[in-house]
Amino acid sequence: MYVAVGQFAVTPRWEENAQKCVALMAQARQKGASLLVLPEALLARDDNDPDMSVKSAQPLDGGFLQLLLHESAGNQLTTVLTIHVPSSPGRAVNTLVAIRDGAIIASYAKLHLYDAFSIQESRLVDPGDVMPPLINISGLNIGLMTCYDLRFPEMALSLALKGADVLVLPAAWVKGPLKEHHWATLLAARALDTTCYIVAAGECGNKNIGQSRVVDPLGVTVAAAAEAPTLLMTELFSARIDLARQQLPVLRNRRFAPPQLF
């Protein structure tokens, strides 16, 4: 299965960001991808206003997603991204959506809010309370995660034990001392914890690192971006998953169940 990862800098205008997503969807489809992963919080971003993502929140039937759904109609490309959806006055839910053939086929409210490194996402964002679903693409089971979820190994493990072959991760990983090292290390660790492929899209710009990556089930980075906007393309192989799980049967060898998540 061919996957694409779209990396770009989100602007303060949702219409401009939607058109960028539409363009990446068209490119990914033309290149033969079955899955496109885009970054986190794509409605709007402003370096001078940290609350812009929440202030720009739209419902799932709002203009932003309608443009993307229109682009997806009539084809089998699955696109995964997150936007902020209004919850109560001045607050929102960081919501992952998977869209295909003109419809939302899955959604997930981010469980782990980024209250770390002097940032408090929970100040304006409400957490989810339900584990994300698995979706099937070309015979592979895809587990859904969002950004800070990456730091919680029990979540990735729970998805793998439910049958995930691939974990996808829209992200807006904030720059800072050692943060790029954390990103690369955690992506490889979650791949090795679960013997899943990891497909991670990072928002790039002045405050976020970009550095989108695809990591295979044995922790090998098979595609990677730097800081600039780009569209990565690579192929995922079910045989590679089978080999990893034969050589490194960590899912079978477990002696303890992961903590219960919701």
Domains of the chain, with CATH numbers? 2-246 (3.60.110.10)
Burial of 94 (0-12, 13-18, 19+ CB in 10 A): buried
Distances (CA, A) of 213 to 7, 96, 240: 10, 19, 17
Our answer to whether residue 15 is catalytic in this structure is no
Q: Tell me, what's the pLDDT at 257? A: 79
User: Would you state the pLDDT for residue 262?
Assistant: 72
202-229 pLDDT, tens digit per residue, is 999 999 999 999 999 999 999 999 999 9
Q: Is 259's pLDDT higher than 80?
A: no
- Judge whether residue 88 has pLDDT over 90: yes
Catalytic annotation present for 147: yes
Cβ neighbours, 10 Å, residue 159: 28
Selecting among 21, 147, 196, 204, the annotated active-site residue is 147
CA distance 115 to 124: 11
Choosing from 40, 71, 121, 203, the catalytic residue is 40
What DSSP character marks residue 260?
A: P
pLDDT at 146 over 90: yes
Question: 66 with 82: CB under 8 angstroms?
Answer: no
Residue 221: how many other CB atoms lie within 10 Å = 14
Mean local confidence (pLDDT), 132-153: 97
* 110 catalytically annotated: yes
Residue 38 sits at φ, ψ, to 5 deg, of -110, 165
pLDDT over 80 (residue 254)? yes
What per-residue confidence (pLDDT) applies to 27?
98
Mean pLDDT, the chain, rounded, equals 97
